[in-house]
Amino acid sequence: MKTNLIAILFLMMTLASCSKKATSDVRQITDEERMEWWQDARFGMFIHWGVFSVPAGFYKGVAQTNSGEWIMNKGKIPIAEYEKFAKEFNPTDFDAKAFVGLAKEAGMKYIVITAKHHDGFSMFHSKCNPFNIVDATPFKRDVLKELSVECQKQGIRFGFYYSQAQDWNHPGGIGNTWDKTIKRVSSEKYILEKALPEVNQLLTEYGPISIFWWDTPRDMGKEVVDSLYRVTTALQPAIITNDRLGEEYPGDHKTYERRIPYRAPKDKYWEECMPIRGSWGHRSDDRNYKSKTTLIHNLVDIASKGGNYLLNVGPTAQGTLLPETVERLKYMGQWMKRNSESIYGTQASPCTQPEWGRVTMKTNDNEATLYLNVFKWVDGGNIVVDLKNNVKSCYLLEDNNRTFVTESSEDGIVLKLTGEARDTVSTVVVLKLAGLPSRLPLKEIGQDDKGNITLLAERAEFQSLDAPGAEYDVEFNCIGSWNHEKAKVYWTFNVKEAGVFTIESGYTAEKKSKFTLSLAGQSGDVTLAPTKSKKRFKKLNMGEFTISKAGEYTLSIKPVIGEWNPVLLQNIQLNRAK
Q: Are 228 and 202 contacting, i.e. CB atoms less than 8 angstroms apart?
A: no
- The CATH number for 525's domain is 2.60.120.260
| One domain for residues 550 and 401 | no
| One domain for residues 375 and 296 | no
| One domain for residues 371 and 457 | no
- The CATH number for 401's domain is 2.60.40
* pLDDT the model gives residue 8: 47
H or E segment at 331? helix 323-339
Q: Are 540 and 486 contacting, i.e. CB atoms less than 8 angstroms apart?
A: no
**pLDDT category, 344, cuts 50, 70, 90?**
very high
Judge whether 125 lies within some domain.
yes
What is the Cα Rg of the chain in Å? 26
| One domain for residues 244 and 177 | yes
C-alpha distances out from residue 181 to 86, 132, 175, 177, 192, Å: 20, 21, 14, 10, 22
- The CATH number for 62's domain is 3.20.20.80
Question: Is the pLDDT assigned to residue 465 strictly greater than 80?
Answer: no
| One domain for residues 290 and 390 | no
- Measured CA to CA, the distance from residue 111 to residue 118 in angstroms comes to 20
C-alpha distances out from residue 414 to 97, 132, 390, 404, Å: 47, 59, 11, 10
**Residue 86 backbone dihedrals phi, psi, to 5 degrees:** -65, -30
Judge whether 348 lies within some domain.
no
* pLDDT the model gives residue 23: 34
The predicted-structure confidence for 6-23, as pLDDT tens digits, reads as follows 554 554 455 444 444 433
- 252 φψ region: left (φ > 0), alpha (ψ -120 to 50), beta (else): alpha
- Measured CA to CA, the distance from residue 257 to residue 270 in angstroms comes to 11
Judge whether 255 lies within some domain.
yes
Helix then strand then coil, in percent of the chain rounded to 5, is 25, 30, 45
Strands 58-59 and 357-364: unpaired
Sequence-ordered strand ranges (E) for 460-548: 461-463, 471-473, 478-480, 488-495, 499-509, 513-519, 522-528, 538-547
The predicted-structure confidence for 520-570, as pLDDT tens digits, reads as follows 999 999 999 999 887 899 999 999 999 999 999 999 999 999 999 999 999
Judge whether 390 lies within some domain.
yes
Question: How confident is the model over 171-194, as a mean pLDDT?
Answer: 95
Judge whether 20 lies within some domain.
no
* pLDDT the model gives residue 494: 95
| One domain for residues 207 and 320 | yes
Judge whether 19 lies within some domain.
no
Last residue of a domain, one of 305, 338, 371: 338
Return the bridge partners of 459, or none.
none
| One domain for residues 82 and 209 | yes
| One domain for residues 56 and 119 | yes
| One domain for residues 157 and 217 | yes
Question: Is the pLDDT assigned to residue 183 strictly greater than 70?
Answer: yes
* pLDDT the model gives residue 467: 54
| One domain for residues 228 and 284 | yes
- Measured CA to CA, the distance from residue 7 to residue 1 in angstroms comes to 10
Question: How confident is the model over 352-364, as a mean pLDDT?
Answer: 96
The predicted-structure confidence for 238-279, as pLDDT tens digits, reads as follows 999 999 998 889 999 999 999 898 889 889 999 999 999 999
Judge whether 345 lies within some domain.
no
Domain count, the chain: 3
- Measured CA to CA, the distance from residue 487 to residue 469 in angstroms comes to 5
Per-residue buried b or exposed e for 95-108, using 16+ beta carbons within 10 Å of the residue's own CB: ebeebbebbbbbbb
| One domain for residues 464 and 553 | yes
The fraction of the chain above a pLDDT of 90, given in percent, is: 84
H or E segment at 572? strand 572-576
| One domain for residues 104 and 200 | yes
Question: Is the pLDDT assigned to residue 159 strictly greater than 60?
Answer: yes
Lowest mean pLDDT segment, chosen from 25-29, 69-73, 217-221, 368-372:
25-29
- Measured CA to CA, the distance from residue 484 to residue 262 in angstroms comes to 17
Question: Is the pLDDT assigned to residue 435 strictly greater than 50?
Answer: yes
- Measured CA to CA, the distance from residue 420 to residue 432 in angstroms comes to 22
Lowest mean pLDDT segment, chosen from 154-163, 308-317, 473-482, 497-506:
473-482
Q: Are 555 and 490 contacting, i.e. CB atoms less than 8 angstroms apart?
A: yes
The secondary structure of 371-423 as a DSSP string is EEEESS--TT-EEEE-B--EEEEEEETTEEEEE--EEEETTEEEEE--S--S-
* pLDDT the model gives residue 534: 79
**pLDDT category, 129, cuts 50, 70, 90?**
very high
Last residue of a domain, one of 434, 462, 484: 434
Per-residue buried b or exposed e for 516-547, using 16+ beta carbons within 10 Å of the residue's own CB: ebbbbeeeeebebeebeeeeebbebebeebeb
By residue range, what is the domain housing residue 379?
357-434
pTM here is 0.88
Judge whether 29 lies within some domain.
no
- Measured CA to CA, the distance from residue 449 to residue 80 in angstroms comes to 72
